[in-house]
Amino acid sequence: MNQKIGYARVSTDDQNLHLQRDALAAAGCEIIYEDKASGKNAARPELDNCLKALRPGDTLVVWRLDRLGRSLADLVNVVTHLVDERRIGFLSLQEQIETNSASGKLVFHVFAALAEFERNLISERTKAGLEAARARGRLGGRKPKLQKKDIREIRALLKDGSIPVSDVARRYGVSRTTIYNHVGVVSVQNSRGD
């Protein structure tokens, strides 16, 4: 039996679900799942339950697109999985996108193309930024804790074995492991005597 199943979400305690619930009921939803959680919060237990309850031929109905996905890419992934892999319809009431019709599928695929375009743009900008930084001599990652001058000084301090590695590490504000990584084990006494 094909049924319409609704999903509603509010992101703060100040918002309420009445508007979404009423719209979903008016659209013919027999079951409505509701979450009260931030879009950034990964836990949306009722969405998970809703997605598990959907069967081929059913239609997932949301009041607005942003109720379902945290981002355009997330939304496209969820809906594409439902429509293409699980044979479940999708309907967004406010945007009037319905994947059960040819025009609705077209609109959704335009959204999907825009999401892919956005991902590619971000990737290209990131690569260009990294290349520009490298061209200016900036390497990726954080600044090293110890400079070459510091490493030379540390080697000199540890050379005779009278100062424990832990004291040198404390003086330079780094861990013993950092000292060992940059200088190596200086003597048997220093590697065991700390």
Exactly one of 11, 38, 166, 175 is catalytic; name it.
11
Is residue 11 flagged as an active site residue?
Answer: yes
Q: Which amino acid is at 137?
A: G
Neighbours of 105 (CB within 10 A): 15
Using alpha carbons, select from 28, 31, 107, 53 the residue that is nearest to residue 75.
Answer: 107
- Residues annotated as catalytic (active site), given as ranges: 11
